[in-house]
Copies of this chain bind each other. A is one copy, B any other.
Amino acid sequence: MTKSHHKPIGIFDSGVGGLTVVRAVRAALPDEDIVYLGDSARVPYGSKSPETVTRYALSCARFLLRHDVKLLLVACNTATAHALPALMSAVTVPVIGAVEPGAEAALRASHTGQLGVIGTLGTIRSGAYEAAVRTLDPSAVVTGEACALLVPLAEEGWTDDDIAFHVARRYLGSLADRAPTIDTLVLGCTHYPLLSHVIALAAEQVFAHTVCLVDSATAMAGAARATLDGGAERRPPGSGGHLRCFVTDASRLGELAPRFLGEPLASYELVDLES
């Protein structure tokens, strides 16, 4: 039997976007082994119903539990928004979603308690960020904007040009019309860090003041470290740091994975969650 602290951290996402979370976790916890699952055969989750997303998220979690993970990170904001309670009921290890760490980090960054969040349609419609923020600070106000085109833009690699800027500007313009006084904006989707440059430029144009961008991937990595430290479950230095990557579809993986992971993906294994 594997000693508890030697077990890997499990991380799943609807596709390759969650590799931004892997990257942040590896930076924060370089000795930990990670088992990653990207459900790329059923990506995206962001436009699908809560029922479908919950079914998919549970099948991802069951897969990672079979790899004996000590901690489960739900990298996907949409899966967190729709399925976190179901996931917490279904597994016995600690579960960290994408929303609460991002909400906490946003409240720490904000001076005014006026927060914005951008994400997929599913994440925004769920109201998950509003609920998480209000639990922490009932006086804070959260305004959300669904940005369906940002994921395909990031996957197309059009991340730093006129089209990306105008798309970001249109979404943030709509957000600013409804919430002109926000001082902090949560990037509530694993793909958005790739677009942070144009999002920052668009925010600068649209809001008449500085808006701080909060990346939920970094916030999740901090939450993972705190959870392991709380339970004395960290792996000893120098003993691990391996990444094992599973995907349900490998199309474009070689091209996309390095953009999100920040380095080439050494290897991957293909799995079928539907049979």
Chain A residues packing against B (C-beta within 8 Å) = 40-43, 47-49, 52, 121-122, 148-149, 151-153, 155-156, 158, 162-163, 166-167, 170, 248-252, 274
Contact (Cβ within 8 A) A249 B52:
yes
Q: Which residues of B contact A167 (CB under 8 A)?
A: 163
Q: How far is the CA of A170 from the CA of B162 in the complex (A)?
A: 11
Residue of B nearest to A163 (CB): B166
Contact (Cβ within 8 A) B40 A48:
yes
This chain: how many copies in the complex?
Answer: 2
Q: Which residues of B contact A47 (CB under 8 A)?
A: 43, 155, 251-252
Contact (Cβ within 8 A) A153 B149:
yes
Q: Which residues of B contact A248 (CB under 8 A)?
A: 52
**9 A-B pairs with the lowest CB-CB distances in the bound complex, closest first:** A49-B251, A152-B152, A52-B249, A41-B52, A48-B249, A274-B274, A148-B156, A49-B249, A48-B251
Q: Given contact pairs A41-B48, A48-B249, A149-B156, enumerate 14 new A-B contacts (beta carbons under 8 Å).
A: A41-B52, A42-B42, A43-B47, A47-B155, A49-B249, A49-B250, A52-B248, A52-B249, A52-B251, A122-B251, A148-B152, A149-B149, A151-B152, A163-B166
Q: Which residues of B contact A153 (CB under 8 A)?
A: 149
Residue of B42, B162, B250 near A41 (CB, 8 A) is: B42
Residue of B40, B121, B151, B162 near A252 (CB, 8 A) is: B121
* Selected A-B contacts with CB under 8 Å, 21 pairs: A41-B52, A43-B47, A47-B155, A47-B251, A47-B252, A48-B249, A49-B249, A49-B251, A52-B251, A121-B252, A148-B152, A148-B156, A149-B152, A149-B153, A149-B158, A151-B152, A162-B166, A163-B163, A163-B166, A163-B167, A163-B170
